[in-house]
Amino acid sequence: MSTESTLIANIGELVTNDPAADGGPGIVRDAALVIEDGRVAWTGPSRAAPAADASFDAAGRAVLPGFVDSHAHLVFAGERAEEFAARMSGRKYAAGGIRTTVERTRAASDDDLRANIRRLLAEMARQGTTTVECKSGYGLTVEQEERAVRIAAEVTDEVTYLGAHVVPAEYQGDTAAYTHLAATDMLAACAPHARWVDVFCEEGAFDADQAREVLQAGIKAGLAPRMHANQLTQGPAVQLAVELDAASADHCTFLSDADIDALASSETVATLLPGVEFSTRQPYPDARRLLDAGATVALATDCNPGSCYSSSMAFCIAVAVRDMRMTPAEAVWSATAGGARALRRTDVGHLTPGARADIHVLDAPSHIHLAYRPGVPLTSAVWQAGVQVR
């Protein structure tokens, strides 16, 4: 962490996500920002900027908080490009493809897994992502899941135990026995390295009773719940997530009116993952319906080798605006402050005094360009906890 102060001057558009802006972007024009001791120390108009030890000229560019990617699966080996090609040729996406990655991940060395997760995190940072949640779920044995969360904990504080991802081949036909393992010995081995517990509650994975068993055991072990919910079908997962006060219900592709109402009346964030629908040709979730009902929405990549091998939050913003009826301002908020809400963090996702100095400078005059210029690499500079990393 840098101890000297840095002034970022000549900001054309500063997106603060100030909580006082009632969930809006809190935009300041012709602005400046001061970083000190890894935190945002001051924001305001350029003409009133205080002196600092160093300066950076934003030259009229837009500045926004670093992206907060609250759903990613980065501890894995191999890739599934052929599966993607087959899907684009008409094969339907199914959860069972996860087992292909399980085989390759089990066979990989610790160093191989470390190298892959660090490669992906560096790729994310180059695109403006400064906070990343990372799940296990490609080991599915006590030893392998413990290894996954331990390796993830080396690079992020936001580690999620996802032993209940799918039922591994050796437990086919006995989901109850695997669920019990995920809720007992596997959980006990993984809990010291994790903050969160997650379950894939879906046809072909775990039903509501099995999800409840694992999540309640995780809560008892000191982990906070989140859930893969309603990705492939309309089911009970969203309602269970709200009942257990999960930080987020992720995917939310197929929602009933009751699901929408439950999310809108709770603290559970609806985390939408548009890269998955892009990569699987599933219907996109209706973000407009959630927002109009008053639900809190986050955007995340779900970066993984099967259903969405993209680390680009900017891509997710563009798709959310184009195909999920979000405005550019709503999508940027959801990719920053919304992700922070999904992780129950107050120190990231905004640029107001006291926030962690996670700063994303665009090579563009406005946040709108993230959707207006899809596919164009617009990240100009990035600070993470006050240290310039790009």
Pairing between strand 248-251 and 227-229?
parallel
Residue 302 has pLDDT above 60, yes or no: yes
Structure tokens at 356: 């962690």
Structure tokens at 87: 């899907």
Whole-number pLDDT of residue 23: 67
Q: What Cα–Cα distance (Å) separates residue 321 from each residue in 23, 150, 186, 289?
A: 17, 36, 40, 14
pLDDT band at 372 (very low <50, low <70, confident <90, very high): very high
For the residues 316-328, what does the mean pLDDT come to? 98
Distance separating alpha carbons of residues 184 and 165, to the nearest angstrom = 15
Whole-number pLDDT of residue 180: 98
Structure tokens at 229: 């919910």
Task: Please name the amino acid found at residue 210.
Answer: Q
Whole-number pLDDT of residue 228: 98
Query: Is 15 in a helix, a strand, or coil?
Result: strand
> Of 377, 363, 271, whose CA–CA distance to 324 is shortest?
271
Residue 334 has pLDDT above 80, yes or no: yes
Burial class (CB in 10 A: 0-12, 13-18, 19+), 4: exposed
Whole-number pLDDT of residue 98: 84
Query: Is 312 in a helix, a strand, or coil?
Result: coil
Query: Is 269 in a helix, a strand, or coil?
Result: strand
pLDDT band at 20 (very low <50, low <70, confident <90, very high): confident
Distance separating alpha carbons of residues 61 and 39, to the nearest angstrom = 21
Distance separating alpha carbons of residues 270 and 250, to the nearest angstrom = 6
Roughly how many angstroms between the first and final C-alpha of the chain, as a whole number? 15
Beta strands, E only, 241-302: 248-251, 269-272, 297-299
> Of 316, 347, 322, 273, whose CA–CA distance to 127 is shortest?
316
For the residues 124-138, what does the mean pLDDT come to? 98
For 254-283, how does the pLDDT look when each residue is reduced to its tens digit (9 = 90+)? 999 999 999 999 999 999 999 999 999 999
Whole-number pLDDT of residue 91: 79
For 57-104, how does the pLDDT look when each residue is reduced to its tens digit (9 = 90+)? 999 999 999 999 999 999 999 999 988 998 899 877 665 578 889 999
Find out whether 64 and 335 touch, Cβ atoms under 8 Å.
no
Share of the chain above pLDDT 70, in %: 97
Q: Rg for the chain (alpha carbons), in Å?
A: 20
Whole-number pLDDT of residue 93: 66
